[in-house]
Amino acid sequence: MRSRQRVLGAVMRLLLKCLRLGRRRRFRLVREAEQLWHYGRLCLRSLLYNSFTNGDVVLDSLFEPIYWLVDHVTRWFGVVFVALVIGLTSSIVAIVYICLLPLILQTYTPAWICWHLAYGHWNLIMIVFHYYMAITTSPGHPPQAKDDLTGVSICRKCIAPKPARTHHCSICNRCVLKMDHHCPWLNNCVGHYNHRYFFSFCLFMTLGCIYCSISGWEMFRDAYAAIERMKLLEKESLQVSANQTYYQTPPPIFSFRQRAFHKSVVYLWVLCSSVALALGALTLWHAALITRGETSIERHINKKERQRLQKKGKIFRNPYSYGGWDNWKVFLGVDVPRHWLTRVLLPSPHLPHGTGLSWDRPPCVTKQRTPLLAI
């Protein structure tokens, strides 16, 4: 009996010892896992630590694949957008010559005919000239040799000199002088040497669309009413022909030429009105930027700088602004009064002021520009 109790006691002590060892081992494994976890987090934070990292940097890193896709799609579809602009503009011009112009010559007075012929062809020449110059003129790129420039920074993407107002275009993969933006409708960057061509194209295209919309308003109403009448008569003729044989079906009431004429007029008015609204808003936006002496990129930079200095009790002054009127003179290249006719109202391939590498005061500016900061 005692031997049995001794054996049972030994077995129980052995089981308790095993359970105690298993618990210690389990606790030791948990502690080792926690130590590995904390060590891994410390290593990861040490590798990714950056004192300049914030929420904006993290979001930019997350959206980098999307930016890459958009840049490549825009680069390859630029030719398609240019062809689309040329095709749509050519179709509008063809409709004007085929549909609107004959009616103008038949119904308008000689004075109005001269006005339409003069203004329409002048507007068309200005649109074609400025669009061709905008897509074929290089926006300007800084030289690769740093010896040619003084006091410039280095672009972190192309590792090249970066003068003031120069920015890197991720689509063209080059730095652009006085870069405003990359325009897919031009398949080109808008920069120092073609900024005037881009704005002039937007302005004259908007004026041309407004001209076509106003001139074709009465024709649009008549064409739209004729199309609705066509649909109604076709429905009635189908109901009548349903009770007749194949050989008794009446011929169509309207010819193909009449249908094409009315639909072309409706297409012209809808397209011109839509483009006038969209492109007109873009033109007004760029006109406001030109008045302030800014580009689209500089507006965001100056806004952040203005807010930063405002917290310190300082006032930000744009160093590239000479005042609203002088900003327009510098942008358009108007040095003398006759340039408003020869360089603004007529096609002119004159170069802008300066080289885009330095920004000295142009000769057409009468006032000294304000300092960068005024405390």
Give pLDDT tens digits for 18-66. Answer: 656 555 556 677 777 788 888 777 777 766 666 656 666 666 667 667 7
Phi then psi dihedrals of residue 108, to 5 deg: -85, 160
Summarize pLDDT for 196-220 with one digit per residue, the tens.
999 999 999 999 999 999 988 988 9
Whole-number pLDDT of residue 368: 55
Whole-number pLDDT of residue 253: 62
Whole-number pLDDT of residue 166: 92
SS (H, E, C) the chain: CHHHHHHHHHHHHHHHHHHHHHHHHHHHHHHHHHHHHHHHHHHHHHHHCCCCCCHHHHHHHHCHHHHHHHHHHHHHHHHHHHHHHHHHHHHHHHHHHHHHHHHHHHHCCHHHHHHHHHHHHHHHHHHHHHHHHHHHCCCCCCCCCHHHCCCCEECCCCCCEECCCCEEECCCCEEECCCCEEECCCCEEECCCCHHHHHHHHHHHHHHHHHHHHHCHHHHHHHHHHHHHHHHHHHHHHHHHCCCCHHHCCCCCCCHHHHHHHHHHHHHHHHHHHHHHHHHHHHHHHHHHHHHCCCHHHHHHHHHHHHHHHHCCCEECCCCCCCHHHHHHHHHCCCCCCHHHHHHCCCCCCCCCCCCCCCCCCCCCCCCCCCCEEC
Q: Does pTM top 0.75 for this prediction?
A: yes
Could you state, in order of their start, the residue ranges of all structural domains in the chain?
A: 60-239+254-361
Enumerate the active-site residues.
183
Q: Note whether 351 and 194 are within 8 A (CB).
A: no
Residue count of the chain:
375
Whole-number pLDDT of residue 372: 44
Whole-number pLDDT of residue 33: 78
Q: Which residues of the chain have pLDDT under 70?
A: 1-27, 46-61, 63-64, 67-72, 145-151, 236-254, 367-375
Q: Tell me the C-alpha to C-alpha distance, in Å, between residue 340 and each of 139, 285, 323, 343.
A: 23, 22, 18, 6
